[in-house]
Amino acid sequence: MLLYNTVFLYSFILVMQIFQFVAQAGIVGFESPASQYEEARLSISELLVPNPSSTHLAFAKDNALSHIGIYKHDILIVNKNMPTRNNPIVVATLNGEPIVRLLDRKKRMLQGAMSAQSYTLRDDDDFYIQGAVDFSIRLHTANDYPAYECATPEMIDDIIIKHPSATYFGLAQGHSMMNVGIFDGDILIVDRHQFINDGAVIVATLNGEFVCKKLDKAQRRLVSTKPYSFYQLSERDRFQVEGCVIASVRLHSSLNMSLN
């Protein structure tokens, strides 16, 4: 699972470059390609929340939308302005209970991954939509979920970024890390100062290429999720850890996103 060389992300009104990595990364004698961004201070809230007045945070309560990459406790960036398209992901209350589901307007159905997690709306239901999910954020390091359950959009940076000058963005390509919640096209938030625990999701340079894998320290392996195989590191490999993936961001709305 590689990181693209040059990527640009387009949000409503903000254009932000996702940093360029060079092919010779990690070769002995070359400076780490990520080191040039140590002084770049990133703001996730500026990237994901262009209109704070119409945006709030919510949190996934279950794994009903895991098939599209939303898992329990994921942070949801919710736009109060509902899109006109069919099947938006909505944050709502249904008969007093909070719920996050795909809304099929034509069938008046709230859809989950399994039939038991879906619900057909009735006329007597007390159903209120709070907004549509533009982005979801999955944390990949230990976090104190109850402490940020009442957070506001302006607090996203404080929740996620602990070492601002050592944090950079990358873009995931491929499907080998889906079982840990990293999908093709996700934005990776990488911390070069985060302690690397056994089993941590890392970005590294391996023989001149950027990879995103789980690190098995004891067995010296780079682990993908099933059915993909692991990679056994050897003394011949040119290998360097470029940081720990602390979070990944997924786009769920119809915002324009392009590669330049």
Task: Supply the residues annotated as catalytic.
Answer: 176, 213
End-to-end CA distance of the chain: 20
* Residue indicated by tokens 């590294």: 204
Note whether 137 and 128 are within 8 A (CB). Answer: no
Q: Which two tokens stand for residue 204?
A: 């590294």
**String of b and e for 143-176 (b: at least 16 CB within 10 Å)?**
eeeeebeeeebeebbebbbeeeebbbbbbbbbeb
Of 102, 104, 48, give the one whose Cα is nearest residue 78. 48
Question: Which amino acid would we find at residue 66?
Answer: S
